Amino acid sequence: MKQLKFMFWFIIRIIITFLLLILILLCIDRLIGIRREKQFGWTWYSETSKINQILLQKYIDNDYELYPLVINRNETLQPKQKDEKRILVVGDSYVFGYAGDNKNYIWWKQLQRKIKEEGYSNISVYGAGTWGLNTQDELDKIINNDAIMKEIDPDLVIFSYVSNDAEPKNKDGSQIYPDSSDWNYNTSNAGSSVFVRNFNNIYKETRDRLFNITDNETILTLAAKVYGYKSNLKMKLISTGKSLKMHEQTLISVDKTMKEKNIPYFFYFCDNNTHWQTQKNYNKNVEKVMKKNNINYYNSTNKANYYYDNFLMINNLNNENLRINPADAHPGTIKTNFYSDDVLSYLHNDYSYIFDEKTNNFKSNININDTMPLLNITKEDDYNYVIEYPKKENKLTENSNFLYLPIKKNYIKLNLEYPIKVNKVKITGSNLKNVDLYVNLVNEKVGFDLDNATQKLTKIENDNNIFNVNKKITSLNISANFLEETDRNLRVEFIK
């Protein structure tokens, strides 16, 4: 009897100790999470996730694996005109516009705008790609996709090349060398999955501390089973040995396929957020393979980094301002502006057949060509739009119908196809209670929008629902409240 009693209390103590340990770990995890939120702007991670979900909802087909053409559901791709020249830009997240709330900021969209501004209205630029594609995927799912190639009928193909495009994959499409990113936790067994899910911040903190204190390949290779691969080790693995040989065969296949289709092409190296020396080594190895096999390419990453350093110094910015937002290292407007300028110069120098005589003197008009989220919008004329403002969701759930940061209130975004000076904007609605307007401004000094880089929006003062903008802008950001939920239509009028 005493032995049973002893065993009972022994088990109770173990259970209590275990529960206390779990409670302590949960408290530690929460405290780490609070610190990381302050350190990394962690709320931007949920905003980025929301933006990407909105992007997926916006594009033409639910099955992006089969039809990755970057075009809104409410857009119609017109048949190619007799005198029209078309450029198709193929890639991954850099082409898709990952984490971006303005499609016009993607580098190939900026290239389109700059070509039009030069007066070549008969040249069109299209993008095809989704996040996670490597070069083999781009060949299989885009170049060899008869539906896309027939519909676009490109006169030139540009491969937007990022320094993980050589990455080999397993037969099921998964990564052979999984990333160590916060969206790619190791869940290969139930134990690690439960730990990562419940002690997420401890997991990230131990990963980051380990990666900061060592570059020892043996240690990092072992750690990769739990944390994924540190970027510099991953870049080395995919740009050497067997992986590089596999990539070489892919590049040879691309060259052969493009020649068979009789479509000129080139690869354009876009820099990424990898350590510069790591990226330089990667590029060096890949360039050797490209030169050996006469693959057409342009690598401006050295020039790009020189440009970034000077731009940031002159404008009193830092490396964080190169990112799309504080939580994501995809390129912001400083980088995408460089890419588009750089590619445009290569086109003029080496692909002059694209440019016939200028067809017009360009004049920009007000045109809302993109919204976040995808909205029901009616264009009555160049100056008047009717918009169905989204409904609010349950306050206890994430409002995925709206953007939230950086103004910390729900709002919708109306993106202008061309930056243009706007005098006044009037926003009305029969059921409108109140409305605020924020804008993305074009920085007069640099000639493009830096609000994206600095994560700020400019609030315009409201005078009886008339907003005196008097600035060159790229977007309207509207936060509205209504008297009742039944009628949420807004009229947006641009006043000359």
Q: Do the beta carbons of residue 203 and residue 180 sit within 8 Å?
A: no
Q: Distance between CA atoms of 91 and 138, rounded to whole angstroms?
A: 7
What Rg, from alpha-carbon coordinates, does the chain have? 25
Mean pLDDT of the chain: 89
Q: Is 187 helix (H, G, I), strand (E, B) or coil?
A: coil
In degrees and rounded to multiples of 5, residue 479 shows phi and psi of -120, 115
Given this model, what pLDDT does residue 396 score? 41
pLDDT tens sequence across 465-495: 999 999 999 999 999 999 988 899 999 999 9
pTM over 0.85: yes
In degrees and rounded to multiples of 5, residue 266 shows phi and psi of -160, 155
Instruction: Using the structure block, give the residue that is written with the tokens 């992006």.
Output: 64
50-169+238-354 and 368-495: identical CATH topology: no
The candidate with the shortest Cα–Cα distance to 92, out of 141, 45, 150, is 141
- Over residues 351-379, the mean pLDDT reads 91
How many residues would you count in the chain?
496
User: Is a pLDDT exceeding 70 seen at residue 224?
Assistant: yes
User: Is a pLDDT exceeding 80 seen at residue 18?
Assistant: yes
Given this model, what pLDDT does residue 40 score? 62
Q: Give ∠ CA 470-475-318 in degrees, rounded to 5.
A: 95
Domain boundaries, the chain: 50-169+238-354, 368-495
Given this model, what pLDDT does residue 363 score? 86
Structurally, at CATH architecture level, domain 50-169+238-354 sits in 3-Layer(aba) Sandwich (3.40)
Task: Out of 3.90.1690, 1.25.40, 1.10.1060, 2.60.120, select the CATH number for domain 368-495.
Answer: 2.60.120
Query: How does strand 432-441 pair with strand 85-91?
Result: unpaired
- Over residues 76-97, the mean pLDDT reads 94
- Over residues 333-353, the mean pLDDT reads 97
The candidate with the shortest Cα–Cα distance to 457, out of 471, 445, 465, is 471
Q: Which tokens sit at 368?
A: 């809302």
Q: Distance between CA atoms of 25 and 13, rounded to whole angstroms?
A: 18
Query: Could you give the percent of the chain with pLDDT greater than 90?
Result: 61
Which carries the bigger pLDDT value, residue 273 or residue 35? 35
In degrees and rounded to multiples of 5, residue 11 shows phi and psi of -65, -40
Q: Is 308 helix (H, G, I), strand (E, B) or coil?
A: helix
Given this model, what pLDDT does residue 188 score? 46
Cis peptide bond upstream of 178, omega within 30:
no
Q: Which tokens sit at 421?
A: 């000076």
User: Is a pLDDT exceeding 70 seen at residue 60?
Assistant: no
**Maximum average pLDDT range among 201-215, 253-267, 441-455:** 253-267
User: Is a pLDDT exceeding 50 seen at residue 216?
Assistant: yes
Q: Do the beta carbons of residue 339 and residue 348 sit within 8 Å?
A: no
Given this model, what pLDDT does residue 392 score? 79
DSSP letter at 106 equals S
The candidate with the shortest Cα–Cα distance to 82, out of 155, 168, 23, is 155
User: Is a pLDDT exceeding 50 seen at residue 190?
Assistant: no
Q: Distance between CA atoms of 149 and 128, rounded to whole angstroms?
A: 10
Q: Which tokens sit at 83?
A: 């005198």
**Maximum average pLDDT range among 14-23, 169-178, 388-397:** 14-23
User: Is a pLDDT exceeding 70 seen at residue 236?
Assistant: yes
User: Is a pLDDT exceeding 60 seen at residue 106?
Assistant: yes
